[in-house]
């Protein structure tokens, strides 16, 4: 039996505020599912200290994934050490996760393009430049037809609550329009610690094809919001055998405070190639009861 290619999205772990039981639970989840690639969508640390980056790097290594794609979040730039923020804002990040702040991962199933949306002169807000938009679009244009094409930003392009509107990515309108035309399927994000999957087609004009915002919650941190537990996303590339369209599933896995494992809480199946159907017909959602006996 062939296992579907799998991607694990981890966002906002905020090492320095991590919950040890959630860390161990997430390591266990990764060992059980053996993802092809782990994507860190920013805010890997709380205050960008060496100790926090060392802990985060050691954690990433323990996940045992074949590849890791990481981008910085606003918390990954020193805040109170102004000299480091001005002169070497990504020095500690690079020491832990490498010099490439906008990595690209490619396999038969996935094309993952990282975008550094942080700026040393911004405290929380993120932005994407014209040059970044065009770089991503050019790489998307060279994707293979069978690949699921993902762009990773830290700040979200879409939010679901009025109080989060101030956290949206600056430059998002141009980015969504250009990346949609270039063939993007999903934009993965974090920052607001609120997991959801929503269609971008209809929310942005123009957005000529089916494209989705996939937001992750905070993976292992005490910095929980809106009553949400720690959570991560697992994306599975559906087999193309017998199918005329590409699709993938997005699974949300939750770990309640004090629990010792992540359990699957929600599954959404996304059709990726249709532009004519309404978003409601392109996404099938099913909730999974979050009881401890599930997915052991």
Predicted confidence at residue 296, as pLDDT, reads 31
pTM of the prediction? 0.91
The full 3-state SS of 219-268, as one line of letters, equals CCECCCCCCCCEEEEEEEECCCCCCCCCEEEEEEEEECCCCCCCEEEEEE
Q: How far apart are the first and last CA of the chain?
A: 19
Predicted confidence at residue 205, as pLDDT, reads 87
Predicted confidence at residue 2, as pLDDT, reads 43
Task: Assign 8 a pLDDT band (cuts: 50, 70, 90).
Answer: very high
Q: Which residue matches tokens 């999957």?
A: 197
Backbone angles phi, psi at 112, to 5 degrees: -115, 120
Nearest Cα to Cα of residue 248 among 229, 272, 226: 272
Predicted confidence at residue 252, as pLDDT, reads 98
pLDDT in tens, 103-154: 999 999 999 999 999 998 888 999 999 999 999 999 999 999 999 999 999 9
pLDDT in tens, 49-84: 999 999 999 999 999 998 999 999 999 999 877 767
Ordered domains of the chain (ranges, CATH): 6-287 (3.60.21.10)
Q: Which residue matches tokens 């063939």?
A: 183
Preceding amide of 206 cis, omega within 30: yes
Predicted confidence at residue 239, as pLDDT, reads 57
pLDDT in tens, 162-211: 999 999 999 999 999 999 999 999 999 999 999 999 999 989 988 888 89
Task: Please say if the pLDDT value at position 4 is more than 80.
Answer: no
pLDDT in tens, 218-262: 999 999 998 899 999 999 997 554 445 789 999 999 999 889 999
Annotate 249-259 with b (16+ C-beta within 10 A) or e (fewer). Answer: bbbbbbbbeeb
Task: Assign 284 a pLDDT band (cuts: 50, 70, 90).
Answer: low
Predicted confidence at residue 288, as pLDDT, reads 55
């Amino acid at each position: 039996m062939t296992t579907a290619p799998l991607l694990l999205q981890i966002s906002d772990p905020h090492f320095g505020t991590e919950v040890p039981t959630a860390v161990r639970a997430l390591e266990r989840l990764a060992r059980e599912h053996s993802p092809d690639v782990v994507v860190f969508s920013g805010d890997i640390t709380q205050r960008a200290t060496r100790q926090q980056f060392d802990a985060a790097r050691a954690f990433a290594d323990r996940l045992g994934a074949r590849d890791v794609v990481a981008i910085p979040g606003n918390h990954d730039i020193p805040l109170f050490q102004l000299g480091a923020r001005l002169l070497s804002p990504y020095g500690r990040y690079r020491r832990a996760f490498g010099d490439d702040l906008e990595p690209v991962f490619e396999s038969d199933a996935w094309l993952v393009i990282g975008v550094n949306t942080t700026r040393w002169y911004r405290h929380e807000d993120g932005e994407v430049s014209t040059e970044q938009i065009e770089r991503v679009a050019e790489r998307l244009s060279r994707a293979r037809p069978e690949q699921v094409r993902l762009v990773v930003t830290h700040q979200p392009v879409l939010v679901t609550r009025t109080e989060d509107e101030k956290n949206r990515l600056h430059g998002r309108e141009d980015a969504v329009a250009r990346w949609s035309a270039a063939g993007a399927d999903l934009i993965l994000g974090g920052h607001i610690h609120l997991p959801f999957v929503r269609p971008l087609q209809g929310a942005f004009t123009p957005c000529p094809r089916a494209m989705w915002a996939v937001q992750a919650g905070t993976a292992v941190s005490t910095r929980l919001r809106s009553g949400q537990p720690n959570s991560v996303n697992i994306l599975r590339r559906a087999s193309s055998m017998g199918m005329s369209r590409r699709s993938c599933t997005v699974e949300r896995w939750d770990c309640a405070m004090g629990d010792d494992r992540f359990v699957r809480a929600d599954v959404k199946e996304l059709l990726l190639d249709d532009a004519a159907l309404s978003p409601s017909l392109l996404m099938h959602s099913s909730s999974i009861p979050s009881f401890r006996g599930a997915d052991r």
